[in-house]
Amino acid sequence: MLNLPHLPYLRGKDPLLAETIESLKKGLISLAEQAGIGASGQIAAPQIQSILVTAANGAFLVTVTDKSATHLGINYFVEYADNANFANVHTLYLGPSRSSPPIFLGSGTFYFRAFPQYQNSPPGAKVVYGGSTPIGVSGGGAIAGPTLPPAQGSGASSGGTAPPSSGFGHGAGARIAFQ
């Protein structure tokens, strides 16, 4: 919420100016909501409810379930790794879509998680396929698929330095700093 602490004083001194400022405040809040940004700070990313992962013949599909109230500008990320600890995790940007295109990884077993993020906010909480005990999904098929190369981070972070789930990134060049 945008705070205008001296508006009551202005109402007493110049009602027309106070009315103009209130109108500008309403317009700014409306614009911020439409852009998916906070008028007086960051909008917290919603909590997604779950993800579903299916696979056949080496192709994986990931669907994110998010029934929370969102603003325009919400983005979703999917991360996958070949281990349940998500070491060397790779990030896929889904944008506003809650369904991934087919991801060909071959017949190996992979672990998935997802999180939402507004462009000017920290990433939301990660939701792991399987919950607190990650469930590996086998790609099936006869093709082994590629060996995962070292992850390089994501977003505005310097290559290879971003921690997992950094979404649009942080650090030098990023728009926001994460705590």
Q: How many domains does the chain have?
A: 2
The CA distances from residue 21 to 6, 40, 44, 176, in Å, are 11, 15, 26, 28
| 150/24: higher pLDDT | 24
- Are residue 90 and residue 108 in the same domain, yes or no? yes
Residue 143 domain flag: no
- Are residue 100 and residue 132 in the same domain, yes or no? yes
Residue 102 domain flag: yes
Q: What percentage of the chain carries pLDDT values higher than 70?
A: 82
Query: Domain holding 104: CATH number?
Result: 2.60.40.10
For 29, counting Cβ atoms within 10 Å of its Cβ (0-12 exposed, 13-18 middle, 19+ buried), the class is middle
Dump pLDDT digits (tens) for 133-174: 999 999 999 998 888 888 776 766 555 555 655 777 655 445
Lowest mean pLDDT among 35-44, 58-67, 155-164: 155-164
- Are residue 31 and residue 76 in the same domain, yes or no? no
- Are residue 17 and residue 86 in the same domain, yes or no? no
The answer to whether 155 and 145 are in contact (CB under 8 A) is: no
Q: Identify the pLDDT of residue 65.
A: 96
pLDDT band at 36 (very low <50, low <70, confident <90, very high): low
- Are residue 55 and residue 125 in the same domain, yes or no? yes
Q: Identify the pLDDT of residue 176.
A: 47
Residue 147 domain flag: no
Residue 24 domain flag: yes
The residue segments making up the domain with residue 119 are 50-138
- Are residue 79 and residue 12 in the same domain, yes or no? no
Dump pLDDT digits (tens) for 81-123: 999 999 989 999 999 999 999 999 999 999 999 999 987 788 8
